Structure 1
Amino acid sequence: MKMMRILPKSFVLGMSLIAIAPQLTWAQSQTAYIQDQVTRARTNPIINPKWGSFLLRTDRLDKLYSLRGYQSIWVDSTGTPNAMVNTLKNILLSADRHGLNPADYWDAQIEKGYQATMKNPGVQWITFELLASEALVRYVTHLSTGRFDPELIDTDIKFKKKEFTEFQELNAAISYGPASLAANLENFAPTHPRYKDLLSILSTLKTQKNSGGWATINSPGFALKLGVTDPVISQLRARLNQLGYSISNNGGNTFDSEFDTVLRKFQAANGLTSDGIIGTRSEVLRALNFTPSQRIAQVEANMEKLRWLPKNLETRHIFVNLATAEFRLFDETGRVFYFNTVNGQAFRRTPSMRDQITFVNLNPYWTVPRSIAIRDKLPLLKQDRNYLQKHNMILIEEATDEEVDPSTIDWKNMTARNFVYYIRQLPGPENALGVVKFPLQNPWAIYMHDTNEKNLFAESKRHRSSGCVRLEQPLELAAYLLQDQPGWSLYDIQNYVPLNDNYIPGEIDKKVTLKKPMPVYFMYLTVEKGEDGSMRFIDDVYGQDTRVSKAISNKRSGDELF
């Protein structure tokens, strides 16, 4: 999927410093003058001042100032910057603790304007007042909603750009004064635990970077495994500790049982083969040798993605991490389920999105998507005209919706153009959807389901599907979702669906509606914190981190990405 180029779309009016900040006429009150400037949104929605590397969005400023009667925030009655300014400056210059770029909010030009206003407040005050407010609004907007439209990054991201609407909360945060401003602005950041985990990881990595980072660990030239002794083992112990994998140094240079246990845990947590072996070209060494700076960029990209989510997730929800291929379900009691999934391949990515389950489908048919029928099934049919029969599938003509005998088709000369059929697999234990399906509401035919390839859940690399999400514990999930409806316990469901070829299933294609929809989030997060505080870094199989990082670092034209 090709990344869409983010094009400039603002209309800059190019107003000069003289136009926006004329000599102050003290006959005109501060509030009236501020109101005049920020209500220009009716005719001049964007003003380009001389100071600052970004534009003034007067519509946003008007929403803030109208709540406070257009009273100034950053200057006193003489136009001199007040005590709030230094507090704001320190907050904006510390934006990197949230993975944001301080220069996007307080740069050298704003600093120059600040100093100029201190020296000559009567002339410069209005420009500085509005620039400081624009910087604040930009900061809290980025902190809460992200820096750009997610759908412009790639076609497999289905989250729409959130609009910042918390102007009343922002005005309240300002009104409490400088002493509590920093704490109050923290409330605009995402509040869910994943974001807080990444904040912690980012802080740790920055500390390590500022301490000089870490040295590359080189292979000794032979495989490291249980019982081996080599000086590199002590380096590996230190690195694992730096990443939060608690291990003692008592073993020194020996690959002992404790090191073996921690190594396997590291491998499993980071999507590597958990075999307790570090080969000469090991993926373990590659993972451990990413520099703090590289990991910081990865964390920042994932923090940006978490801002696409609602500020507070529902107490009861499903969260599928597409990068780690893991399923979690939460409710009022905490985490209920945590198991593996199989997600879309790199060239058939499962989209990042929010959706919901409204019903459970037992003993489902599988109607093969046309893209899969053409790319995957048609070549197999050309090789074996009995393929459909062997896999409990039927052929249906699109125009009549009637079943067609596959033996009557000239498969040798069949092409995508004249393939006017669709393939349907009948319910049963060998159905590609397994015995239960969890339909979603999206238009891309993406859903969750059981599978007839259960062996894949034990693999370390589980991006193996054509886009839908396969679940390791589908019957247990179905029973949980239907627990408030009699007759659908886990035992009941197990007796309803075909678990082997000798069992006659219950009703075909049975749909059971949930009493309350279950929210579902598909997110692609390559950084997580383990339950023990260890850091998890997953390879960017989809390339999504790369595209997000590129958008973050993209050279901006004015305020285009914001």
Structure 2
Amino acid sequence: MKKREWFIGLTLLFLLGFSLTSWYCAKKEETTPKKASTGKFHYEEVSLSFDSTAVTSFYAKYPKLVLYQKQAVALYRKNQYNYLWYDKKGRKETAEVIYNKMNNLFEEGVQAKVPYKEILDGLFVKTTAKPNVEVELFLTNYYFYYTNKVLQGIDSTKTEELGWYLPRKKLSYGQYLDSILIDPKLIDNKEPLIGQYYKLKKVLQKYREIEKNGGWEAISAPADFKQLKPGDSSQLVAQIRKRLFLTNDIASDSKSNIYDESLQEAVLKYKKRNGFTEDKILLPKHLSEMNVPISDRIKTIMVNMERCRWISTDLTKSKEFIVVNIPSYRLTYFKEGKVALVSNVVVGTALNETVIFSGMMSYIVFSPYWNVPKSIRDKEILPAIKKNKNYLAKHNMEWKGSMIRQKPGPNNSLGLVKFLFPNSNNIYLHDTPSKNLFSQEKRAFSHGCIRVAKPKELANLILQDDPNWTPEKIEAAMEGKKEKWYTLKNKIPVYIGYFTAWVDDDGLVNFHKDIYDRDNALANLLLEE
């Protein structure tokens, strides 16, 4: 009996072992790579290409994306209509990155409604592994949508209509895609925009948080309010303290009604970053500026993020360059990546706007003549000559053919030196005898050229490494009675820009008056996009 039971048990064990082995082998055969004719192993083929006619069908179904059709077709032709956002394992990590970017465009200061976004939302959740041509084409189009809105900005023809003639940056977004498909982290780490963009992006997040928490209340001043000075006591002081606490101009809100030292320091900080004369007296205009709604500040930040999109990152790679920001009335000279000089400037009036463009500084002219432009000659000088026949002699001027020029000297309208970067706008940097203008808050007084508060310092820095010049020779040339031209050995890029919001080296956001009324036009254009 025992022998029979032993035999039956052995038989069952054998059958069970055979069954398990058969199951294991079958399972292994399903997952084990099959040997191809090349001798290499490969998993069961999943088609990673699609029919090119799918592209035409896609745009017929989703016509609002046709703007990106040309770029998409070129990209897929280059890649033989292979899937870009899928591989054999399923949807790539890069697809998730682009999808998340599209979900968070507001962080980039983009308010436009993404076309068909709700359709992709549905498709994206349902499909993860098997390639889906509709999801594939959505992602490609949204990639170009992202690069267009976030990296490139509005079309250059539109920026020129807004009076922006600085050269636009050039970047191949097809090549950029090649890079991020290999390493998705590059889309955040490579930073294809200038550093100022990312600084403003952080400020945008901060100001939106303030807005989310209720923003700031308008400071209510009595009708007869004239000023506040250190030591004054008033309920108005507590309102100002609360307002400056929200924007981190003051570290804490003591709720005190006394205009004490801590608030005085906060006021100086606020005035500096808002383009006011840095004193401790508070006037109605300062309270008016504090009452600008936070929604307006957010719009200003977004508008200037857009302007950053137009600037090439190559700008900061130059050994030396000069930047003039019109709204802040300031010139900054960079050498070897560091700020070498900051100078106040006077720019064109609203009727004679300084043009936004760039050029290469090529010449310095010491003790210059001022060749009076025909428009100024006809509108201002000729009428003055009719009233006073000695007008030219009185202003050290003379006829030069049919034109009028002012002779070199301390009273010359161009001062003692000018810096030329040849351009069709006839705009340049120059000295001026009207030094008092540089101390004023609003400095839009010129006919379009840019007057520099520190011309001698600028000339010395430019010629610092030129063996032909010493500070003494520069001063002598400036004080001379004859015009002297000098060709620079190395041309210097000059960029004249227009930014009404800017983050400084201390991480503080600066707001400047929109002196040429350009922000609203750009904001409206962005909302239309």
Farther off after superposition, 285-294 or 160-169: 160-169
2:351 to 323, 339, 347: 347
The aligned counterpart of 1:455 is: 436
2:85 to 56, 61, 74: 74
Give the distance between the partners of 2:312 and 2:94, measured in 1 at CA: 30
Q: Which runs of 5+ in 1 are unaligned?
A: 1-26, 41-45, 398-420, 499-504, 557-562
Give the distance between the partners of 1:52 and 1:217, measured in 2 at CA: 49
Q: 1:249 to 1:111 in 2, by over 3 A?
A: closer
Q: 1:126 to 1:338 in 2, by over 3 A?
A: same
**Superposition deviation, residue 122 in structure 1:** 13
Q: 1:150 to 1:229 in 2, by over 3 A?
A: farther
The aligned counterpart of 1:547 is: 521
Within 5 Å, which residues of 2 pair with 1:328-343?
Answer: 328-332=332-336, 334-343=338-347
The aligned counterpart of 1:358 is: 362
Farther off after superposition, 161-170 or 488-497: 161-170
Give the distance between the partners of 2:192 and 2:377, measured in 1 at CA: 45
The aligned counterpart of 1:58 is: 69
Per-residue displacement from partner, 1:496-539 (whole Å, max 9, x unpaired)? 222xxxxxx16x22121212111111111111224433322111
What amino acid is the match of 1:368?
Answer: V
Give the distance between the partners of 2:85 and 2:193, measured in 1 at CA: 27
**TM-score (norm. length: structure 1):** 0.78
Q: Is 1:153–1:548's contact at 8 Å kept on the other side of the alignment?
A: no
The aligned counterpart of 1:560 is: none
| Structure possessing the higher radius of gyration over alpha carbons | 2
Q: Is 2:98–2:142's contact at 8 Å kept on the other side of the alignment?
A: no
RMSD between superposed Cα atoms in Å: 3.0
**Superposition deviation, residue 76 in structure 1:** 5.9
Give the distance between the partners of 2:368 and 2:512, measured in 1 at CA: 33
**Superposition deviation, residue 479 in structure 1:** 1.4
Give the distance between the partners of 1:445 and 1:218, measured in 2 at CA: 47
Per-residue displacement from partner, 1:372-403 (whole Å, max 9, x unpaired)? 22222233223222211111111233xxxxxx
What amino acid is the match of 1:202?
Answer: L
Per-residue displacement from partner, 1:284-310 (whole Å, max 9, x unpaired)? 112111222211110111111122211
The aligned counterpart of 1:286 is: 288
Q: Is 2:365–2:483's contact at 8 Å kept on the other side of the alignment?
A: yes
1:440 to 421, 426, 440: 421
Q: Is 1:447–1:468's contact at 8 Å kept on the other side of the alignment?
A: yes
**Superposition deviation, residue 117 in structure 1:** 7.4
2:382 to 371, 378, 382: 378
Give the distance between the partners of 2:313 and 2:278, measured in 1 at CA: 35
Give the distance between the partners of 1:300 and 1:388, measured in 2 at CA: 50
Q: Is residue 272 of structure 1 aligned with residue 283 of structure 2?
A: no
Detail structure 1 runs of 4+ shifted over 4 Å in the superposition.
27-30, 66-69, 75-78, 80-84, 116-124, 150-153, 160-163
Give the distance between the partners of 2:267 and 2:459, measured in 1 at CA: 35
Matched residue count: 481
Q: 1:490 to 1:195 in 2, by over 3 A?
A: farther
2:135 to 100, 110, 128: 128
Farther off after superposition, 544-553 or 374-383: 374-383
The aligned counterpart of 2:106 is: 96
- Name the SS for the 1:317 alignment partner: strand
Per-residue displacement from partner, 1:321-355 (whole Å, max 9, x unpaired)? 11100011112151110110001111111111121
**Superposition deviation, residue 47 in structure 1:** 7.9
Q: Is 2:50–2:133's contact at 8 Å kept on the other side of the alignment?
A: no
Give the distance between the partners of 2:162 and 2:125, measured in 1 at CA: 48
Per-residue displacement from partner, 1:254-292 (whole Å, max 9, x unpaired)? 11234234324422431234443333xx12112111222
Q: 1:210 to 1:255 in 2, by over 3 A?
A: same
Q: Is 1:116–1:124's contact at 8 Å kept on the other side of the alignment?
A: no
Give the distance between the partners of 1:116 and 1:32, measured in 2 at CA: 18
1:233 to 217, 223, 237: 237
The aligned counterpart of 1:4 is: none
Within 5 Å, which residues of 2 pair with 1:493-508?
Answer: 493-498=474-479, 505=480, 508=482
Q: Is residue 514 of structure 1 aligned with residue 488 of structure 2?
A: yes
Q: Is 2:166–2:497's contact at 8 Å kept on the other side of the alignment?
A: no
Q: 1:155 to 1:293 in 2, by over 3 A?
A: closer
Q: Is 2:365–2:418's contact at 8 Å kept on the other side of the alignment?
A: yes
Within 5 Å, which residues of 2 pair with 1:36-51?
Answer: 48-51=59-62
What amino acid is the match of 1:289?
Answer: N
- Name the SS for the 1:31 alignment partner: coil
Q: Is residue 213 of structure 1 aligned with residue 215 of structure 2?
A: yes
Q: Is 1:352–1:522's contact at 8 Å kept on the other side of the alignment?
A: yes
Bigger helix share: 2
Within 5 Å, which residues of 2 pair with 1:462-477?
Answer: 462-477=443-458
**Superposition deviation, residue 469 in structure 1:** 0.7
Q: 1:509 to 1:33 in 2, by over 3 A?
A: farther
**Superposition deviation, residue 82 in structure 1:** 6.0
The aligned counterpart of 2:267 is: 263
Q: 1:120 to 1:172 in 2, by over 3 A?
A: closer
**Superposition deviation, residue 127 in structure 1:** 3.7
**Superposition deviation, residue 48 in structure 1:** 4.0
**Superposition deviation, residue 541 in structure 1:** 0.9
Per-residue displacement from partner, 1:91-142 (whole Å, max 9, x unpaired)? 11212222123634xx4x2331452576699999434322321111221233
1:298 to 300, 306, 309: 300
Give the distance between the partners of 1:332 and 1:152, measured in 2 at CA: 30
The aligned counterpart of 1:418 is: none
Q: Is 1:344–1:467's contact at 8 Å kept on the other side of the alignment?
A: yes
Give the distance between the partners of 1:170 and 1:446, measured in 2 at CA: 40
Give the distance between the partners of 1:83 and 1:52, measured in 2 at CA: 27
Farther off after superposition, 348-357 or 49-58: 49-58
Q: Is 1:243–1:535's contact at 8 Å kept on the other side of the alignment?
A: no
Q: 1:47 to 1:354 in 2, by over 3 A?
A: farther
**Superposition deviation, residue 211 in structure 1:** 1.7
- Name the SS for the 2:424 alignment partner: coil
Q: Is 1:245–1:534's contact at 8 Å kept on the other side of the alignment?
A: no
Q: 1:83 to 1:494 in 2, by over 3 A?
A: closer
Give the distance between the partners of 2:162 and 2:349, measured in 1 at CA: 15
The aligned counterpart of 1:24 is: none
Q: 1:318 to 1:123 in 2, by over 3 A?
A: same
Give the distance between the partners of 1:82 and 1:115, measured in 2 at CA: 18
Q: 1:441 to 1:134 in 2, by over 3 A?
A: farther
Within 5 Å, which residues of 2 pair with 1:153-172?
Answer: 154=161, 156-172=163-179
1:535 to 481, 502, 509: 509
The aligned counterpart of 2:49 is: 31
**Superposition deviation, residue 371 in structure 1:** 1.8
- Name the SS for the 1:170 alignment partner: helix
What amino acid is the match of 2:220?
Answer: N
Give the distance between the partners of 1:306 and 1:83, measured in 2 at CA: 29
Q: Is 1:319–1:523's contact at 8 Å kept on the other side of the alignment?
A: yes
Q: Which runs of 5+ in 2 are unaligned?
A: 1-44
- Name the SS for the 1:33 alignment partner: coil
Determine what percentage of the aligned residue pairs are the same residue: 28
Give the distance between the partners of 2:72 and 2:191, measured in 1 at CA: 17
**Superposition deviation, residue 360 in structure 1:** 1.0
Give the distance between the partners of 1:247 and 1:120, measured in 2 at CA: 50
